[in-house]
């Protein structure tokens, strides 16, 4: 028997194909981004809350090279861009997953022109890349407070100290 690929694989979208895929998404469109290296409760709670702000959500993840430039550690990311994209695409709150190799998602934000731009509570609205542009075209920008005080770095530290 041949089993089809999981349906969530269709939610993974290379940046070059975004223009064609965005047109089919309902508005208001939410955009968020991040590394999402080792998925945890804080991530999934945040993504579910962000998705509730609109009718569809695009999640852009940093490529491996982009993560390394953020200085999160010599061994980061733990999971490759491809693996992170697949895990995130499996979430019901995520409608489309793409990636960016630059240090910020500014170019993607300008291309997508989301109605709602969202980051986690560690980002003040004035520090969110693209916030002034989104507000300028009449959109909204949100900084969602953390519900769960956890992080990939904390998880990795726990793993490293217990071995």
Residue 13 exposed, middle or buried by CB count within 10 Å (0-12, 13-18, 19+): buried
- Residues 68/76, Cβ–Cβ less than 8 Å: yes
Rounded distance between C-alpha atoms, residue 27 and residue 115, angstroms? 7
pLDDT at 148: 74
Rounded to an integer, what distance in angstroms lies between the CA atom of residue 137 and that of residue 113? Answer: 9
Kindly report the CA angle at 68 between 119 and 64, in degrees rounded to 5?
80
Tell me what pLDDT residue 138 has.
98
Supply the mean pLDDT for the chain: 94
Q: Which pLDDT tens digit goes with each residue over 125-156?
A: 999 999 999 999 999 999 999 887 777 777 77
Spatial distance between the Cα atoms of 91 and 84, rounded to a whole number of angstroms: 11
Token pair in block for residue 42: 């804080």
Q: Write the pLDDT tens digit of every residue in 105-114.
A: 999 999 999 9
61-112 pLDDT, tens per residue? 999 999 999 988 788 899 999 999 999 999 999 999 999 999 999 999 999 9
- Residue 101 corresponds to which tokens in the numbers above? 């190799």
Cα 54 to Cα 25: distance, rounded to the nearest angstrom: 11
Q: Which H or E run contains 159?
A: helix 152-162
- Read off the pTM: 0.93
Residue 7 pLDDT > 70, yes or no?
A: yes
Return the pLDDT at 103.
95
């Amino acid at each position: 028997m041949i089993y089809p690929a999981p349906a969530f694989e269709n939610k993974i979208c290379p940046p070059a194909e975004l223009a064609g895929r965005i047109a089919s998404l309902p508005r208001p469109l939410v955009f968020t981004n991040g590394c999402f290296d080792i998925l945890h409760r804080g991530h999934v709670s945040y993504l579910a809350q962000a998705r509730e702000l609109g009718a569809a959500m695009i999640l852009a993840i940093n490529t491996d090279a982009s993560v390394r430039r953020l200085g999160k550690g010599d061994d980061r990311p733990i999971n490759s861009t491809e693996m992170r994209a697949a895990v995130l695409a499996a979430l019901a709150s995520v409608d489309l997953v793409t990636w960016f190799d630059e240090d910020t998602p500014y170019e993607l934000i300008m291309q997508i022109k989301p109605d709602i731009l969202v980051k986690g509570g560690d980002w003040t609205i004035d520090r969110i890349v693209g916030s002034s542009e989104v507000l300028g075209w009449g959109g909204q920008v949100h900084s969602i407070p953390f519900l769960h005080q956890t992080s990939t770095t904390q998880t990795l530290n726990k793993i490293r100290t217990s071995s």
